Structure 1
């Protein structure tokens, strides 16, 4: 009997999940979390985000991705209270990384966008992270291992598509 499909091998006792699927999911979550922490550390040690809290970096990144956005929209996207986002944005404003302008569609609201300094900060952080990861692949992996990662990424991409 092939016990790779045995429900007892599944994640948290869920029937119908093979042991290999459960292990792949668990190992991927662990590796992804470690990689995410390491990439954050790299940006911080490079001086790119030293003076910003993780929530400030996250909000700055979100503004970069969303373009002009309201504070309440950013709060909803981050899953935080509007008051918390307001405090985060106040700090980013103090650093000169964002600016607020009246919403042309509703003058009572303000739209938050990045300043040139904010765009430079985001781009510098992205570049430092990308360079660290590429250098780590170059220095610590063989060509065959890098090709395996490329192939695995195609599989992961397929998993994320509807």
Structure 2
């Protein structure tokens, strides 16, 4: 970060605070979906809602985690009745993971409440600032994914 000067230190500090708060918020949202849901598994629900049915290997690659970690997290979601596995029509040996109707309902309720909180927090921002933040975070996520 030194090559960015003091701005790099500011960025590092602000990202550290943001990530710490995001982890805490993910834990709260996970518990709102189901009291036994691990915070890390909440992101899986987000991805499944956004992208639709996925293979476990696709999810592991998307999140940059190993197959064993993904298998453990999916197993927990399955036991809670939040996801289901169906045969992959493109390859009968593989399965697709998708939200169950209960998983979709629980996730949607929590996501909508989260979006309302964001709307309140960002009420003083103009739409262009919000769009810029989303664009820059997307760019950072793309660069981060390319490094893995």
TM-score (norm: length of structure 2): 0.73
For 2:114 and 2:134, locate their aligned partners in 1 and report how far apart those are by CA, in whole Å: 21
Match status 1:36 vs 2:22: yes
Contact 1:49 1:57 in 2 (8 A): no
Which segments of structure 1 move beyond 6 Å, counting only runs of 4 or more?
none
Contact 2:29 2:42 in 1 (8 A): no
- Please, which runs of 5 or more residues in structure 2 have no aligned partner? 143-148
User: 88, 97, 110: which is aligned to 2:95?
Assistant: 110
Match status 1:153 vs 2:130: yes
Q: 1:103 to 1:155 in 2, by over 3 A?
A: closer
The answer for the alignment partner of 1:62 in structure 2 is: 47
Match status 1:119 vs 2:119: no
For 2:18 and 2:110, locate their aligned partners in 1 and report how far apart those are by CA, in whole Å: 19
For 2:97 and 2:135, locate their aligned partners in 1 and report how far apart those are by CA, in whole Å: 34
CA deviation string 1:48-68 (max 9, x = no partner)? 343200222122222222211
- Please, which runs of 5 or more residues in structure 1 have no aligned partner? 1-10, 139-145
For 2:30 and 2:40, locate their aligned partners in 1 and report how far apart those are by CA, in whole Å: 14
Q: CA deviation at 1:156?
A: 3.4
Let me know the Cα RMSD of the aligned residues.
2.9
For 1:151 and 1:27, locate their aligned partners in 2 and report how far apart those are by CA, in whole Å: 24
TM-score (norm: length of structure 1): 0.68
